[in-house]
Amino acid sequence: MKVVLLVGLVQPAVSYQAPIPDAVSDTEALTDMVMQREHAMQAKDATLAMQQFSDDATWINSQGYYFEGKSAVARFHTLLTQDPQRDYHYEAGSPRIRLLDSSNAVVYYSWKMTWFERDNPEKVINPEVGLMTLTAQKRDGKWYWVATTVQHTPWFYQSIEPEPIGETIHSEP
Phi, psi of 105 (to 5 degrees): -150, 155
The H or E element that residue 83 is part of is none
DSSP 5: -
Q: What is the pTM of this model?
A: 0.82
State how far the Cα of 38 lies from the Cα of 12, in Å rounded to an integer. Answer: 14
58: helix, coil or strand?
strand
Contact between 119 and 87 under an 8 Å Cβ cutoff? The reply is no
Give every CB contact of residue 100 below 8 A, 6+ residues apart in sequence: 16, 106
pLDDT, residue 2, reads: 45
Lowest mean pLDDT among 12-26, 126-140, 156-170: 12-26
pLDDT, residue 87, reads: 96
Give which of 91, 162, 97, 110 is closest to 136, Cα–Cα.
97
Q: Confidence band (pLDDT; 50, 70, 90) for 1?
A: very low
Mean pLDDT within 35-42: 97
Decide if pLDDT at 171 tops 90.
no
Mean pLDDT within 22-50: 95
Contact between 31 and 108 under an 8 Å Cβ cutoff? The reply is no
Decide if pLDDT at 75 tops 70.
yes
- Asked if the 13-152 domain carries CATH number 3.20.20.150, the reply is no
End-to-end Cα distance, the chain: 24
Q: Confidence band (pLDDT; 50, 70, 90) for 54?
A: very high
Distance, C-alpha 11 to centroid of its chain:
14
State how far the Cα of 40 lies from the Cα of 96, in Å rounded to an integer. Answer: 20
Q: Confidence band (pLDDT; 50, 70, 90) for 4?
A: very low
Q: Confidence band (pLDDT; 50, 70, 90) for 76?
A: very high
pLDDT, residue 142, reads: 97
70: helix, coil or strand?
helix
- Greatest mean pLDDT among 13-17, 123-127, 168-172 lies in 123-127
24: helix, coil or strand?
helix
pLDDT, residue 173, reads: 57
Share of the chain above pLDDT 70, in %: 84
